Chains A and B, each alone.
Chain A
Amino acid sequence: MRNAITIARKELSIYFTTSWAYLVFTGMLLVSSFFFVAMLESFKQVQQMARAMSWARLPPDWAMYKNLTDGVIVPLWGVVMIITLFVAPFLSMRLFAEEKRHKTFELLMTSPVRPMEIVLGKYLGGLAAISATLGLTIVFPAVLSIFGRSESGSALEWSTVLLGYAGLLLWGAACMAVGMFISSLTESQALAAFLTFAVLLPWMLLKGLAQNAEEPLRSIVNYISFDAQLQNMTKGVLDLKSIVFFGSVILFSVLLTQRAVEAQRWA
């Protein structure tokens, strides 16, 4: 475990000494701020309309705009989830591909370190990077809780907000695990990023495909779709099934990476 932490620390120091992490942070903050402002704006408009006409005369879908949590934060988490899909491959692509390109993979493999420790170290480093990226978005609910007002005490329902956020972290962790596995298969970072994206995007959109499928295929596809798994969590419903699902995706990816790392020797 000591070795895994050594490797994780090295990963983090490289993320933060190069401009990569900062670029990803900036991208995440810029895009999510844009959506945050847009969502606040539509929230304000609906609220004004409701004040003029009363909620009963507005479409029933708009009921979510009754409070800041459902009206702003829940849809915002949905957007951050999609941004994560775009930024996670940029963070995960270098994990193994870069080691192989710089020939430092040979150093790791000839040091007294087990392949599993290398994989865990890399994954922990990547996990810290994605958590830092997602951590920035906590600023939005914080702003709302400081400046927001509601008729019933606190401006936000923190349990819903944080559960949604935990869902996001799970999603980010799964993206990094899948990205790490793909990075362990190639020497090219660009290819690793592209393949990761090409795997994650359809996986996320599987739910749409499921609509037209027949049972039992439909339930299966629905179950393995990222989107369907995340739906409850982002709405603030604790769903053990999703935790098990994402936990399995992560575990499976880590094990596959370990196999891939060991298999390099047999190539």
Chain B
Amino acid sequence: MDTDRLTSVLPTNSPLVLSPSQAMPWREEEASHSMRSLAYFIGTFVAALMLGIGSAWYMIERGSLLTTDKVGPWSGWISEGNPNADPYTKAHVARSGRLPLTSTVARYFVAHTDSAGRTLTSACEYSVEGSPLNARWWSLAVYDEYGGLIENPSARYSFNSEEALRHSDGTFRINLSSKARPENWLPSGTADQHLVLLLRIYSPRETDASGIGLIPGDRLPKIERIECE
């Protein structure tokens, strides 16, 4: 703590006896001190407001180590939909406008980037390669950055465990591209925009100690960028 700054605004530091000529400069100095204190107070308050709201926004929107599993590009809220969830998860769910199933019944993983950390965009073509998931049903869907489905001529917005073409070993490859592709083509639309992938996994067969659906990190698909326009 800066004690000399603090005490200087108090009169105890001032000389006990003042001649009138000495009094004026001292008062000006005191006034400038209190002006500066006021500025500091306002500055502190504004900085605190930005820091407090900003950190809250980030931890609610994107999650933190406490609330989310992060594996490569994928991020999944551990207690999503759970009535006993922490306040960050509850705020995230309320703000999302969605009705997610509780994490003991389903797990949701969101990706905003490819496996190399580059933002997903419709200007690039991606290969999403995954292993079999130990669950009753799963679906991989693509959205624009606001969570809306993307217009395309084949009305294809997702691939699920029942319809995705798979290789003989159970692995699958989904081609996310604005142009028609063979195998599982997930169209990313003609508009130039950022993309979000959402992998929903219903009824995972493995659970952790608290009953939350367990999806081993290496099972989540890899998102490789093939080329960009």
A, B co-complexed: no
Residues of A at the B interface (CB closer than 8 Å) are: none
